[in-house]
Amino acid sequence: MTPSTTPEHPQMHVEDFQELADAAPDGVRLELVDGRVHTKDPLSVEEFEELERRAPETVRLEYINGKLEVKAVPDGNHREILIWLQEQCMQHRPDLRVYGESGVRTEAYRKGRARTDAAVALKGHFKGHGEWSASEGILMAVEITSHDRDTHQRDRVDKPVGYAAVSIPVYLLIDRDHTTTVVVYSEPKDGRYRQTQSYPWGTTVELPAPVSLTLDTEELKEYAG
């Protein structure tokens, strides 16, 4: 699978970066290079969480492989795909809920902090949780690719590893770039998903247990752009 040829969008505007840098806790030094935000020094999980708490509302941060990442802002088609998934889930598994933009502790030793585009769990699962939830009880993590230059590494490479490491049973990748596929990762073991199945948009997608859901993906063809 290769990266999208869609024109790249900068990760962060200068104004947003300046607001984030001004709010950064003591000892966290940030710089903006070619539209990407970097830390000048190694960043701990604790420092990331403090930075994230102080970040402006326009900035969505993740901590992946020990690095600060900025998650792309969803566009209209991205949001429509999420609604499609919610409707499919409610129709076939009314006991489940699709929770948009959920913070999850990921990677080995839970040292990562990922923002899923959605997390599927039983109704009421997140009651009482804080910003970053443990993975237990999350049945499926969902990512929808964005048209930014980091989507290949983030959604197709890093996220499967991070979610498998904390034993999230299913990872659903809705890839709306030139491949237009739905990829189902399942059976996590030793930090990897042992099963990976790709489906072209328009076909029927079988999600394994514990999700146990059949998706009709014909509507996705409307949201390829």
pLDDT of residue 150: 80
Extract the tokens encoding 164. 């498998």
Angstrom distances, CA of residue 41 to CA of 35, 38, 68, 97, 186:
18, 9, 11, 39, 36
Domain with CATH 3.90.1570.10 in the chain: 76-223
pLDDT of residue 184: 98
Given the candidates 3.40.640.10, 3.90.1570.10, 1.25.10.10, 3.50.50.60, the CATH classification of the domain at 76-223 is: 3.90.1570.10
Q: Does residue 187 sit in helix, strand or coil?
A: strand
pLDDT of residue 11: 62
Can you list the residues of the chain whose pLDDT is less than 50?
1-10
pLDDT of residue 133: 96
pLDDT of residue 151: 81
